[in-house]
Amino acid sequence: DAKTTQPPSMDCAEGRAANLPCNHSTISGNEYVYWYRQIHSQGPQYIIHGLKNNETNEMASLIITEDRKSSTLILPHATLRDTAVYYCIVRVGGQSNYQLIWGAGTKLIIKP
């Protein structure tokens, strides 16, 4: 069963920050939150992951609430190429034996 809840779709203007929310209220203390995106007709692409602290890389920032029940993926300056389905995922299991439990995803449309 999915452990995450996301809005089915969102729009964002090109050049603005895209903020994608995710609810994971049943997450356990050692379960990581991962974000992937899938551009049409391609395999999913890793974006970022985190456990408790906020994380940032060249693609995005991940903000996790203190109670870890929700998180937000931020694309700071969205471009048309960021149009994709974004998946918020919980990783269950240990470091060497884990599974990614996928939600339904948010279809993000970047508008010119």
Partner 1 sequence: KAGVTQTPRYLIKTRGQQVTLSCSPISGHRSVSWYQQTPGQGLQFLFEYFSETQRNKGNFPGRFSGRQFSNSRSEMNVSTLELGDSALYLCASSLLGSYYGYTFGSGTRLTVV
In 10 A of CB 27, how many CB atoms? 22
User: Quick check: 86 binds partner 1 (CB under 8 A)?
Assistant: no
Q: Least separation, in Å, of the C-beta of 44 and partner 1?
A: 5
Residue type at 15? G
Distances (CA, A) of 33 to 9, 11, 54, 55: 20, 23, 11, 11
Pick between residue 42 and residue 53 the one whose CB is nearest to partner 1.
Answer: 42
Residue 49 in contact with partner 1, rule: CB under 8 A: yes
Site residues, partner 1 (CB under 8 A): 32, 34, 36, 41-46, 49, 87, 91, 93, 95-97, 99-105
